[in-house]
Amino acid sequence: MSRRSRRNKVMPGMGIKMRKGKTIRKYAEYFLLLLWLLAVLLLTATAVTGCGNGPEGTAGMETGTEMRETSGAGAGSGAKENSRTAEYASDDGKDGAESQEGKTGPDYETAADGHVDFDALQKENPDIFAWLYVPGTGIDAPILQSPISDDYYQSHRADGREGTEGALYTEMPNMMDMCDFNTIIHGKDDKDGGLFADLHKFENPDFFEKNEKFYIYLPDNVLTYEVFAAYYDEESDILRRFDYTTYGGCAAYLEQVYGIRDMGKNQREGWDDLTPYHFLVTLDGSIRKEEGRQYVVIGALVGDAAGKIDRIILD
């Protein structure tokens, strides 16, 4: 046999081995593809959503909420972004913090340094769910919600003991995750003082102009709000004035806010386009008997460090 014929001769079984090799490689490729698909499904199943907990709530945020300023807002920012927002809050309120006479938590804590120890606070009183810090004022205190009665913290302090000064609190119709359209935070406001007596600093146009932000700390988030309006409101229950779960109710409240023509009202320029898709906090001083009205300071969410604020709005 010639060399050429020997080189071209196919040995017995050679074709079978080659086909087996190709088959094994094909199965290996299928196996790797299957592993990749399982990994994608696992990551999707473990993704964390916002307060809306569904595609409808997410759609509302994407189409209706136009943030004027962000502080690391967005899902997945995590503790690193939370820390940066806390530092920003501390720096922004440095001048106000230096002018304060003392610390105001149950054990004389303060949020002026950008740190809130919720583990310690909730051991003191489990009704504490957040902390409000308003730079430039003495408002630097925990926010509570009682499961017993909406007016419980009118006559009880943040440590749970009875006291005429009361505490800052929200009512049960408001969620404690701050995902409502309008969260109403109540506090005593008397001529002799009170936790919300310093809200009246916003009556001064210069103070209102220079002090734009306030902050709400949660155990897993830091929220930044820009003050866009401050004025004397009528003597009535703001929380039950409208149905804030519906688009129409939210729109009616905004129409009322914009319609206030009080001479002492301060409203920030550029905030005339709020919609029911925004998130508001109303700092509501108690009604002064001699005046028959309450002073309110309203802020809109501009920073959501952990990217968790979301909700579903009914038609």
**Residue 289: predicted pLDDT:** 64
Banded model confidence at residue 25, pLDDT cuts 50, 70, 90:
low
- In the chain, the N- to C-terminal Cα span, in Å, equals 90
Does 167 share its domain with 149?
yes
Classify strands 128-133 and 294-304 as parallel, antiparallel or unpaired.
Answer: unpaired
Does 162 share its domain with 276?
yes
> Cα separation of 154 and 166, whole Å?
5
Helix (H) or strand (E) holding 183: strand 182-187
**What average pLDDT does the chain have?**
77
Total tally of structural domains belonging to the chain? 2
Does 98 share its domain with 186?
yes
Least confident of 44-48, 114-118, 209-213, 270-274: 44-48
Taking the model in full, what pTM does it have? 0.70
Helix (H) or strand (E) holding 208: helix 205-210
Helix (H) or strand (E) holding 300: strand 294-304
> Cα separation of 232 and 213, whole Å?
20
Banded model confidence at residue 72, pLDDT cuts 50, 70, 90:
very low
Q: How many CB atoms lie within 10 A of CB 164?
A: 11
Q: Model confidence over 83-103: pLDDT tens digits?
A: 333 443 444 444 443 444 455
DSSP, res 154:
G
DSSP, res 47:
P
Does 283 share its domain with 175?
yes
Single-letter residue type at 243: D
Does 286 share its domain with 194?
yes
Measured CA angle at 219 (ends 215, 225), to 5 deg: 20
Does 101 share its domain with 218?
yes
pLDDT above 90 covers a percentage of the chain that reads 55
Does 22 share its domain with 128?
no
Does 37 share its domain with 127?
no
**Residue 86: predicted pLDDT:** 41
**50: in domain:** no
Q: Model confidence over 279-297: pLDDT tens digits?
A: 999 999 987 666 678 999 9
Contact criterion met (CB below 8 Å) for 135 and 92: yes
**Residue 104: predicted pLDDT:** 56
**Residue 193: predicted pLDDT:** 84
Residue range of the domain that includes 167: 55-304
> Cα separation of 178 and 19, whole Å?
64
**259: in domain:** yes
Banded model confidence at residue 106, pLDDT cuts 50, 70, 90:
low
**313: in domain:** no
- CATH number of residue 172's parent domain: 2.40.260.10
